[in-house]
Structure 1
Amino acid sequence: RNKGLLLSAGIVELLEQMTSNPRLAAAATALYLNLSCLTDAKSVIASTQAVPFLVDRLYNHDACDPKASSCKHDALYTLYNLSTHQASIPSLLSAGIVDALHTLLTDSSVSEGIGWTEKALAVAISLAATQAGRKEIMSTPGLVSTLAMLLDTGEPTEQEQAVSCLLAMCAADDKCIAPVLQEGVVPSLVSISATGTGRGREKAQKLLKL
């Protein structure tokens, strides 16, 4: 209820002003995360400069700095919440979220833990459910290779999500199948279909049948 009152009171406009002040960036990001849990707020946030601001938070922060890491966490989770609202996805794509996700998937430090990879993959799955998102993922150099690598090297939950992302793309568009197969995913899919998580096994089997 309080979040709804804040939204109706014009909090998003105030947050946009806060993002221009580096000292207030972390506080603004945390507030965006709280608001993004509201369905009505997702389209409002996505229609502002909040999305480029949040995507930028994913790039340039020192993982050893707790405040920067917390801001990055809040930005990623906010973007995930927005990605579950399909009408917001064009704004996410325009802001360069796919490149930012690729950076997270390839450069996450050990100190950040697997949570970053899992949430980045969750956003990618939401994007893969749309034609524009699939096109962006497939056209981003090295991203399909990274997803294929996670099938082999990721934790079980990461493998499950990587399979889910690839399946979402390949099941929706036959043109995605050949580039995915060219990454040599079949042995990894066979392994996941036998020893992965329950959902991972199911999705790997479906992908193998395409």
Structure 2
Amino acid sequence: MLAVGVLPLLENIIGNSGSPGAVAALCLNLSSLEQAKPVIGLSEAVPFLIRALNDNVDPTCKSDALIALYHLSSLHSNIPRLVSLNILDALQPLIDDDTWTEKVLAILTNMVNLARDEIVSTHGLVSGLSSALDMNEPNVQEQAAACLLTMCTGNETCIQMVLQEGVIPSLVSVSANGSARGKQKAQKLLLLFREQRHQDPPVVQDSSPQQCEIGVGLVNEEVRSLTKQVSKRKLGRGWSSLWRNKSFLVHQC
């Protein structure tokens, strides 16, 4: 199909079709091929797929568009164009929707190494990533923790932004009850925040202990206390049926 010129035909269909679902399905199938990813990444299929995320289309079309974009974002050379076409703004409203959170996290995880600054500066994405830690699905927690860890490593500004979202109790919960990889990522994040605290200059604290909160000044005793509390709780272990296909798995990082 690639050899006989299916992509030019696809671009023509995008401009004239009243069936976005069929176009998204074809883009999905083609995007799963490694040799097609760079070609599709330069085509008009990309802005079509991004528009489909927030257009009034049926859920199947939106799901196909997200998975196709996941495939395309796995190729690093496609990421600058995805960013320039405002994919992050299109993903932001979906990250807080339980139906789409998992797929959005997978795309962000593919992009975070090359688009960290853009992700951090997109309103609502850091908050959405932090909120995903509280979902009762271990794979979602794992993806969120992995993405946040990559974002925060070596970036003090990002650390401060994430801490302002109040993620410490959520990370302690994941470190105690998450999947094996989720526990590992959450523990690394907690260690990173603790190391950052030791690098920060001393802060004059309010004289009233009731006003002290867990934040940048992460205290080891508080974390241990939270861990004991969280370890007594049992979180739901229901795995999302939307993400069983192996082609959707996020690369280990």
In structure 2, the gaps of 5 or more residues are 193-253
Contact 1:167 1:203 in 2 (8 A): yes
Contact 1:37 1:81 in 2 (8 A): yes
Q: Distance in 2 between matches of 1:154 and 1:17?
A: 43
Contact 1:160 1:200 in 2 (8 A): yes
1:181 paired to 2:184? no
Q: Distance in 2 between matches of 1:52 and 1:164?
A: 28
Match of 1:47 in 2: 42
- Aligned-residue offset at 1:172: 5.1
**Secondary structure of 1:76's aligned partner:** helix
Match of 1:192 in 2: 174
Contact 1:98 1:140 in 2 (8 A): yes
Q: Distance in 2 between matches of 1:194 and 1:122?
A: 23
- Aligned-residue offset at 1:154: 4.8
Contact 1:193 1:200 in 2 (8 A): yes
Match of 1:148 in 2: 130
1:204 paired to 2:186? yes
Match of 1:84 in 2: 74
Contact 1:35 1:41 in 2 (8 A): yes
Q: Distance in 2 between matches of 1:172 and 1:17?
A: 45
Q: What is the TM-score of this pair, normalised by structure 2?
A: 0.72
Q: Distance in 1 between matches of 2:27 and 2:155?
A: 34
Q: Distance in 1 between matches of 2:164 and 2:170?
A: 13
2:83 to 86, 89, 93: 93
Q: Tell which structure's C-alpha radius of gyration is larger.
A: 2
In structure 1, the gaps of 5 or more residues are 1-5, 63-67
For these two proteins, the number of residue pairs brought into alignment is 192
Contact 1:190 1:204 in 2 (8 A): yes
Match for 1:76: what amino acid? L
Contact 1:118 1:158 in 2 (8 A): yes
Name whichever of 121-130 and 172-181 sits farther off. 172-181
Q: Distance in 2 between matches of 1:148 and 1:172?
A: 18
Q: Distance in 1 between matches of 2:133 and 2:164?
A: 14
Match of 2:141 in 1: 159
Structure ranking higher in helix proportion:
1
- Aligned-residue offset at 1:17: 0.7
**Percent of counterpart pairs with the same letter?**
50
Match for 1:91: what amino acid? R
Q: What is the TM-score of this pair, normalised by structure 1?
A: 0.86
Match of 1:32 in 2: 27
Contact 1:58 1:75 in 2 (8 A): yes
Contact 1:61 1:69 in 2 (8 A): no
Contact 1:61 1:72 in 2 (8 A): no
Deviations 1:4-62 (A, max 9, x none): xx112111111011111242322221111111111111110111121111001110225
- Aligned-residue offset at 1:79: 0.1
Q: RMSD of the TM alignment (CA)? A: 1.5
Q: Distance in 1 between matches of 2:90 and 2:23?
A: 20
Deviations 1:58-106 (A, max 9, x none): 10225xxxxx211111111000000110100011111111111111112
Q: Distance in 2 between matches of 1:22 and 1:175?
A: 45
Match of 1:121 in 2: 105
Match of 2:118 in 1: 136
- Aligned-residue offset at 1:188: 0.8
Name whichever of 94-103 and 170-179 sits farther off. 170-179
